[in-house]
Structure 1
Amino acid sequence: MLDQDYISPLWTKRTGACLGAIALSVTTLLLPGCTTDNEEIQEGKTNVTTEDVAENTESVIGQEITVRSLVGEAVGKSGFVMNTEEDKPILVINATGTVFTLPAEEDMPVQATGQVAQFVLADVEKEYGLDLEDELYVDYEEQPAIIAQSLALAPTTEELAAAPTGYFDKVIAVEGDVRKLEATNNALALFEEGWVDDIGVLVVGVEADLKGGSIAAVQEGENITVTGTARQADAKLLKEANLGWDDAKIEEFLSRYTQRPVIVADGIYPSAVDPAPGE
């Protein structure tokens, strides 16, 4: 039987109205400045939509933004488009220095972080050391584009919990509502609105200030996005995470936390989707 003092009261998620993946597909956020320990991490965020990037480029030009969206077609080896509700796709250029494989699933969002710019092929090639296929980018010249310095698959919390195999050892960005864990160090749990579940997804590696803001600023029930790597849950990983659990607690936890990944976090950001009323 699990130790009720450290598991059950903390890993229970009441259900609410489903915000849905559609909200993710059209929303972006401007990355915030540093927060103080008594601020919520979402303080100071500015939500915009991909339509704003396409139609009101001047308001975000030169800004570093994070976009979570469904993707359309690839453009050569280093580009792809993100969909918008108004059918005005946004060009994304992969300037991360590593190959990024677009998801095979049409309903799988991708998260991109980078600067918004008016696309000029020659300038982008020179500044970022890229060799783009000129003929494929003719229609994108002088159009808004995101020059991505970070790209990640962006499954929902429920999708990650249900089918983690395709994400193990890959960089991911997962949105969810925070549940803090008592008698546990350096960790939190993520849940999702409308997901009937009493365990959630465990996030470890939050013992220090991470990219995007201080973990001390994260509030119970806050809607956040966690970036990091999906790992298989095992005793070695949990011991290395310095959770403050002894061997018995780790064994009890693993007996319940089956076929689910653990996210080893490297960043925590305010989500572009606000929690449901009452959260």
Structure 2
Amino acid sequence: MMNTSDQNKSFAQKLWNAKGSIALALSVVLLSACNNNLEREAAVPETNVTAEEVADNTTQLIGKTVTVRSEPIKKIAPTTFTISDKQFFGSEPILVVNASGKLFALPGDSDTPVQVTGPVRKLVVADIEREYNLDLDPELYVEYENKPAIIAQAIALAPKPGEITTNPKQYYGKTLAVTGEVEDIRSASSFTLDEDKLLGGQDLLVIRAGTPKGTVNEGEKVAVTGVLRPFVVAELERDYDLTWDLTLQRKLEAEYSNKPVLVATEVYPSAIPQ
């Protein structure tokens, strides 16, 4: 029969073993979560952030490249315009300087957002002109001087899937940046983005040329950049390295012939809330 001292030692040993098992289990969970986070971070471009994240980390983002989606509110000059979002740098309009080397026409519909990718800078007109070989009229930017600006390396229209399928002609041949929920996975290289039910449009077909990088899951919110084309098999096969088989091609052609298809150059998890 154990005395009190032995019983205490036995209880302490059991407790220690239990704590050790709990600690080991927690370490496994935390390691697994860490690995999952690393995999997710590796899959998501570092620049793919929400406007809220940019707003909360303005100081830290100066000099870093970000991707932001917002509605343009005012054209300043052929290469500059402002965007505004209640969660993006407060409520102050942010100047976007187009340094991509490509002309970008702002959407006629002010409700259509744009996606802007580029470094965040404090605007010093003379420095921006020199570094990016631009000709900016200083008088137009007095109110933006020394305030945060995005020096855009890439700009794209960012309509919703339903807006595209409802009126595709205005988007044909243009590079788009579209976010939406994966609705119907047809193959490793094709899926649909859920349409906006309020608009009554159809789901948007997405096809990926070449060998797709990564996979998508049904219900996952993704961001897709690519060019919108009419679904014409002969033209798509001529212009892109498509990996579909004949059966899939025939099914898609029967369902989507001459309807819009987004030929994706990039697909990645979306940081933009839907």
Q: When the two structures are superposed, what TM-score results if normalisation uses the length of structure 2?
A: 0.74
Q: How does 1:54-69 map to 2 (within 5 A)?
A: 57-69=58-70
| Stretches of structure 1 lacking an aligned partner (at least 5 in a row) | 1-34
Structure 2 counterpart of 1:91, one-letter code:
L
The alpha-carbon deviation at position 84 of structure 1 amounts to: 2.0
Q: How does 1:240-251 map to 2 (within 5 A)?
A: 240-246=240-246, 249-251=248-250
- Distance in 2 (CA, whole Å) between partners of 1:245 and 1:195 is 34
Change (3 A) 1:100 1:40: same
Q: When the two structures are superposed, what TM-score results if normalisation uses the length of structure 1?
A: 0.72
Q: How does 1:159-238 map to 2 (within 5 A)?
A: 159-179=163-183, 181-182=185-186, 184-192=187-195, 194=197, 200-208=203-211, 214-216=213-215, 218-238=216-236
- What residue in structure 1 maps to residue 253 of structure 2? 254
The 10-residue stretch of structure 1 (77-86 or 257-266) with the greater mean CA deviation from structure 2: 257-266
- What residue in structure 2 maps to residue 90 of structure 1? 94
- What residue in structure 2 maps to residue 8 of structure 1? none
The alpha-carbon deviation at position 262 of structure 1 amounts to: 0.9
Structure 2 counterpart of 1:127, one-letter code:
E
Q: How does 1:128-143 map to 2 (within 5 A)?
A: 128-143=132-147
Q: Which runs of 4+ in 1 moved over 3 A?
A: 38-48, 50-53, 192-199, 206-209, 237-241, 248-252
Change (3 A) 1:205 1:46: closer
- Distance in 1 (CA, whole Å) between partners of 2:53 and 2:81 is 17
Larger radius of gyration, structure 1 or 2? Answer: 2
- What residue in structure 2 maps to residue 49 of structure 1? 51
The alpha-carbon deviation at position 215 of structure 1 amounts to: 2.6
Higher helix share: 2
The alpha-carbon deviation at position 153 of structure 1 amounts to: 0.6
- Distance in 2 (CA, whole Å) between partners of 1:145 and 1:181 is 39
| Stretches of structure 2 lacking an aligned partner (at least 5 in a row) | 1-37
Identity among equivalent positions (%) equals 36
Q: In 1, are the aligned partners of 2:232 and 2:257 still within 8 Å (CA)?
A: no
- Distance in 2 (CA, whole Å) between partners of 1:71 and 1:170 is 18
- Distance in 2 (CA, whole Å) between partners of 1:64 and 1:93 is 13
Point out which structure has higher relative CO (alpha carbons under 8 A, 6+ apart).
Answer: 1
The 10-residue stretch of structure 1 (249-258 or 79-88) with the greater mean CA deviation from structure 2: 249-258
Q: In 2, are the aligned partners of 1:187 and 1:243 still within 8 Å (CA)?
A: no
The alpha-carbon deviation at position 192 of structure 1 amounts to: 4.1
